[in-house]
Amino acid sequence: MVQVQRSTVLDAPLEAVWEVLRDFNGHDRWHPAVTTSRLEDGRRSDQVGTVRDFRLTGGERVREQLLSLSDRDHRFRYAIVESDLPLNDYFAEVALKPVTDGNRTFWSWTSRFRPPPGRERELTQLVAEGIYAAGFAAVRALVERRAAARPPSRPAVTPGAAAEGALPGEAVIIERHGGPDQLRLVPVQALRPGPGEARLRQTAIGVNFIDVYCRTGTFDLLQPPGVPGMEAAGIVLDLGPGVRHLRDGQRVAYACPPVGAYATVRTMKADLLVPLPDSVSDEVAAAILLKGMAAEFLLHRVHKLQPGETVLVYAPAGGVGRLLCQWASHLGARVIGATSSPEKAAAARAAGAHDVILPGPDSLEDQVKALTGGRGADVIFDAVGRDSFAHSVKALADCGHLVSYGQASGAIGSWDIGSLASNSATVSRPAFGHYTDTPEKVAAITRRLFQALADGVVTAEVGQRFPLAEAAEAHRALESRRTLGSTILLPGGR
């Protein structure tokens, strides 16, 4: 058995490098040794178990399978399942780590394989130089081109002395990663909008668990000191040059990175803003936009739900879970909710859950099997993570689909893909940003969401309202699972 390990340091932020590498089917667009590549069976490029079928410049065909992928650890593993090259028993791992000295990324690429006798040196050099070294150089050039093409970013809000044309306001900032006590209200200013930008006075701000991940540093979306939050509604105050699709005084909302929503005023890219229909109030928009967009792509893109399927939804009384229950029931699915209290069970049933599972002497998987005649759930939407993942795998029907879209209890850790063979499970770990990274995607998702709202398919429930200054208390309530429905922050302490 031969082991090849190569590493490099790229002068680029970790997320920029990860964006390139996590696309398991994207190497034909950057690696000089790869000519064509396709995914088999219509699977997605971040779906564990997917197989990519590609050809090298020499004409050799290779089929590789994705064994694991972690957005938390920035690591994935894969293996060759068929190859014209004699790279027998080939297993590889790609891992990224941030370099503390500057905004750089350490990239390690390791593989093990068994070459035929007499070809050890040839094949080792092919992998080390023709694949790994060439890949390092290609990704380095790609991220440099992307960085050069990207206009310099400006802060949405800035502390300190007022700049010319700036609008004063307040924002909640995170001084350093940590607990809710790190959230603090400070004076800020929203800069005059530049080309392609809009300045807003915000009227309602959504609170989501991704904000907690940003506060703790679990997700690398906010570098302290900074303003958290990805969702808000407000009124357009003024527009920068070149903005044609919005007007002053228009009601708009957004649910997307970059973070910065916990503020009374904000300047941001105008193409991230969604005009609100008259039928959707500012509070409803802040309560439902991010969660509703997530529910839309989970049910219509990650797993295209079919009538008659059995769906298990964790946290069915929460923000996304409640919408999943409503929408899945409307689509003709049988919905089972898994929650923690009779009060939340009642809320889940009101949202469309046909059955609700509570903690008890029987395990979750046993309760699901009992409700389904031993079959299990066709699809499971699991936002809990570490504490639920093993139970979810066992609760799946044969060939079922586990959609792990959150980790409220912590990261799921490393899993042996072989354990999924017991029921031929498919596992997905979708990230919000990959389904909402263009104005065209956002427009398509919000169009369906607003129609579902208008038709009464889904409804927004504002369970908790906090003044912006009490954002820390809102986080405590969310983390302790004391919330029902959506939580919003109100500027001005309303």
In the chain the domains, ranked by start, together with CATH numbers, are 2-149 (3.30.530.20), 167-290+477-493 (3.90.180.10), 307-429 (3.40.50.720)
Contacts for 171 with CB less than 8 Å, ≥ 6 apart: 157, 185, 186, 188, 227, 260, 262, 263, 264
DSSP assignment of 326-346 equals HHHHHTT-EEEEE-SSHHHHH
Chain-centroid distance of CA 156 in Å reads: 22
Q: What is the pLDDT of residue 100?
A: 66
Nearest to 50 by CA among 73, 75, 69, 27: 69
Q: Long-range contacts for 418-421 (Cβ within 8 Å, ≥24 apart)? A: 419/393, 420/48, 420/49, 420/393
How far is 228 from 258, CA to CA, in rounded Å?
9
How far is 233 from 120, CA to CA, in rounded Å?
61
Q: Residue 68 is encoded by which pair of tokens?
A: 């694991």
CA angle (432 as vertex; 316, 480 as ends), nearest 5: 40
Q: Residue 389 is encoded by which pair of tokens?
A: 């993942």
For residue 364, report the phi and psi dihedrals to the nearest 5 degrees: -55, -45
Residue type for position 132: Y
Nearest to 481 by CA among 310, 314, 240: 314
Contacts for 484 with CB less than 8 Å, ≥ 6 apart: 317, 318, 343, 344, 347, 461, 463, 464
For residue 194, report the phi and psi dihedrals to the nearest 5 degrees: -95, -170
Residue type for position 165: G
Q: Is the dihedral of CA 231, 236, 239, 242 positive or negative?
A: positive
Lookup result for tokens 């009384």: 317
- Cβ atoms of 9 and 107 within 8 Å: the answer is yes
DSSP assignment of 264-297 equals SEEEEEGGG-EEPPTTS-HHHHHHHHHHHHHHHH
**Low-confidence spans in the chain with pLDDT less than 50:** 151-153, 161
How far is 186 from 182, CA to CA, in rounded Å?
12
Nearest to 198 by CA among 89, 145, 271: 271
Q: What is the pLDDT of residue 159?
A: 59
pTM comes to 0.63
How far is 448 from 442, CA to CA, in rounded Å?
10
